[in-house]
């Protein structure tokens, strides 16, 4: 189930994780997603990561917490994380929660991959 909620693509300069979360996710499903995603990152936490949110129409507090946890895992291991593809609504949520200060955010995947190389 949780593998349906994200797709991992190894690119030349970074690993791209594309999230596709439904509006509702029960706590068991979310725990599975959290465990699966953290497991993927743990394999190469010190690497370069792009979290593509272009297929994400909504992000509740649990999803925002997951992003912060991913960020922390990657940074603690000396890696790099860039977010991209945030909808205007999601950008507003990030601003409201002051999360835009925590993340490097680019408009699309190509810009995120360029930012990671720099």
What contacts 79, CB < 8 A, 6 or more positions away? Answer: 44, 45, 46, 47, 48, 49
Q: Could you report the per-residue pLDDT of 48-68, keeping only the tens digit for each?
A: 999 999 988 777 788 888 899
DSSP characters for 30-45?
HHHHHHHHHHHHHTTT
Write down the mean pLDDT value for the chain: 88
1 pLDDT higher than 50: no
Number of domains in the chain: 1
Kindly state the average pLDDT of the residues 21-48. 84
| pLDDT higher at 77 or 62 | 77
Instruction: State which residues form the domain around 41.
Output: 2-117
Output the pLDDT for position 3.
Answer: 57
What is this structure's pTM?
Answer: 0.90
| DSSP structural state of residue 99 | G
Question: CATH no. for residue 74?
Answer: 3.30.750.24
């Amino acid at each position: 189930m949780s593998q349906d909620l994200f797709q991992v693509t190894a690119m030349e300069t970074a690993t791209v994780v594309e999230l596709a979360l439904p509006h509702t996710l029960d706590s068991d499903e979310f725990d599975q997603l959290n465990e699966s995603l953290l497991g993927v990152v743990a394999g190469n936490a010190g690497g370069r990561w792009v979290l593509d949110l272009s297929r994400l129409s909504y992000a509740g507090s649990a999803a925002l917490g997951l992003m912060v946890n991913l960020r922390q895992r990657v940074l603690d291991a000396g890696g790099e994380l860039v977010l991209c593809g945030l909808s205007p609504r999601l950008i507003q949520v990030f601003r409201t929660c002051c999360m835009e200060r925590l993340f490097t955010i680019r408009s699309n995947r190509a810009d995120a991959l360029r930012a990671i190389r720099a």
